[in-house]
Amino acid sequence: MSTMTVSFPGGKHVDAEYGGFTIRTDQPPRAGGEGSAPQPFDLFLASIATCAGIYVKGFCDSRQIPTQGLGLEMRIERDPATHRVAKLAIEIRLPAGFPETHREAVIRAADQCAVKKHIFAPPEFEIRTV
């Protein structure tokens, strides 16, 4: 088991220590923060996009496909009634010369994202006081 430790350094800042890194968050000024770091939910969304990205990059690297110009864009569509995320659409920007025969395979690689898999098979949550 691994442990993530959360601290409150002041204002609306909430930091997490994990794996030797400090992950800083803040709230925007309209919510009483300084806007000095991403909001926690923004990190969640970024984890999905970057996770898909590392699988795409690994796919290209393992096939010695040049990655200059490779990129991803994730569109976030919200339900207007609930304001919740309704759809995440990831577009993979392929580099010039990307082999046509690998287009479907690179999509399957992005689909292997471990963050996405955890959404479809979520962990059990236990919250308690100590």
pLDDT in tens, 70-93: 999 999 999 999 999 999 999 999
DSSP 39: -
What's residue 59's pLDDT?
Answer: 98
- In the prediction, which pLDDT does 93 show? 98
- Percent of the chain at pLDDT > 70 equals 100
pLDDT for residue 50 = 98
Residues 6+ apart with CB under 8 A from 94: 69, 70, 103, 106
Q: What is the dihedral of CA 43, 46, 48, 50, to 10 degrees?
A: -130
Quote the pLDDT of residue 5: 98
Structure tokens at 87: 């759809």
What pLDDT does residue 9 have?
98
- pLDDT, tens only, 34-83: 999 999 999 999 999 999 999 999 999 999 999 999 999 999 999 999 99
pLDDT confidence bin for 114, thresholds 50/70/90: very high
Domain 39-130: assigned CATH number: 3.30.300.20
Which pTM value belongs to this model? 0.92
